[in-house]
Structure 1
């Protein structure tokens, strides 16, 4: 449990008013969902709590479900940012870089936001913690040809994904919601048949419109792995990435005969993520003269 989390036992025992105050913005500006769920207490775990909140949404009349959709902000909207997003929405949009778009990115988001709202009469909603900026724009384009009924259902589904992540951050429980993924790597020195320790590793999120973003920099440990996952404890955002490994200094330290300059120094591996809650393992098998990879899990 983190300092910001509330124990589930406390939520089970508190008054209805305190329960609603604690969970009222799990679903954006919609405390009625927490009010409905409060009557189902006590909850055995956070999964059961989430299912009760989700059931309240599913059983709501169409006009209330539409109001829930319309309570959400447009993505990357400067006017709404100036007026003040909720703390939750602001943190979620900032996590994917929607607060620091290039001019080209901002124009792209403005175009698709306007096209979507003009067609459907409500904002485009996606769980941004599961995406990169590029994959959000691709999702916009994929969903725009849909009909209203399909997009109402898609929007409610995305709202529930957002709520699950918010609840996971807020509530401490013995069980966990299945909202986290993991991206990992390891380096195997196939010249010596041993794990490669001390290899600098850089993970980069690739962008077609703006600048590429360094997600993390780390070193491999004695087992050729990293002490922590490259991404963990959250969804692994859908998108395109590059892993960059600096190997020349490692082989030089092993007194392996090498060319000058080294044939291989900085090795890039490009790959894509499509399953945010899955485990994707992207290893490097390397000698001073060759390398390979594969999709692990």
Structure 2
């Protein structure tokens, strides 16, 4: 079930108890963060509200900040498998594909969770909506080598990222949070010197050398673009992606005399995303015999 959204003006005006009820789950099991922010109202922008919630955490006693970190669930951990997580965490881990792991993958996460907890005494915290599965594992392994003090700072920053995405989904108003990225494309037919309409496009996330996961499918319109971004309105998870363009089918529909099989049938473009809030425009400039790409805008 999707949580109800609230207008910032309404949040500014409502009683403190209602404000806390509306935003108490933004920080995992820590409604005291919303209570601290309530005293700083009114907020002119959603960004100001987010800053007040962050300030509430930063001003809290160390014991409260430790409890905030300790209250987060492990990734693909026992609470996840038992269905005992908060609804927001369930949705976030599911969106990252952590609910569809094989037994071998579960075992790998279990080993990493245990190693991290043994080293730092806390669950590993990562804003998984900003990462693909391969990136989650890379982050897990890299952060195991950190020193405890810097790792606590990193974990708290990840808590703020998680909270920002939750807040962005709950509150509408002036000054929204910049938490979304985009992947988009267009196709140019350089033989005709025109946009290529009707090209089937697929976007896949590359999970490993042997596994890809479909993310989106679309068809180019008269402008050679898809009607909407292939990913939009949310962070683009850090990952390697592959765009697949059905170029052979497009040229067949134009009535071009092609050999069978055609020299270019399905054209793959593999690229990496390192900035979840960035715009990655990946066009295809093509003929029946050649193609090129670049990062556009």
In structure 2, the gaps of 5 or more residues are: none
Show the counterpart of 2:290: 290
Q: Match of 2:204? A: 204
Name the residue aligned to 1:276.
276
Residue 109 (1) aligns with residue 109 (2): yes
Secondary structure of 1:262's partner?
coil
SS in structure 2 at match of 1:276: coil
Alpha-carbon displacement from aligned partner over 1:136-190 (angstroms, at most 9, x marks no partner): 0000111111111111100110000000000000011122101010110111111
Q: Structure 1 length as normaliser, TM-score?
A: 0.96
- State the alpha-carbon separation in 2 of the partners of residues 3 and 32 from structure 1: 19
The TM-score, its normalising length taken from structure 2, stands at 0.96
Between 102-111 and 48-57, the greater mean CA deviation after superposition: 102-111
Show structure 1 runs of 4+ deviating over 6 A.
none
Specify the alignment match of 1:128 in structure 2.
Answer: 128
Contact 2:79–2:85 (CA under 8 A) maintained in structure 1: no
Deviations 1:223-273 (A, max 9, x none): 110000000000000011111010112112223332222111111111111
Unaligned runs of 5+ in 1: none
CA-to-partner distance for each residue in 1:203-223, whole Å, 9 max, x for gaps? Answer: 011112884211011100001
Distance 2:79 2:177 in 1: 34
What secondary structure does 2:99 align onto? Answer: coil
Contact kept? 1:47, 1:176, Cα under 8 Å: yes
Which is worse superposed, 74-83 or 85-94?
74-83
Deviations along 1:72-102, one digit per CA (max 9) or x if unpaired, are 0000014444151100000000001111112
Residues 1:35 and 2:35 are matched in the alignment: yes
Between the aligned partners of 1:209 and 1:59, the Cα distance in structure 2 is 45
Q: In 2, Cα distance between the equivalents of 1:127 and 1:225? A: 31
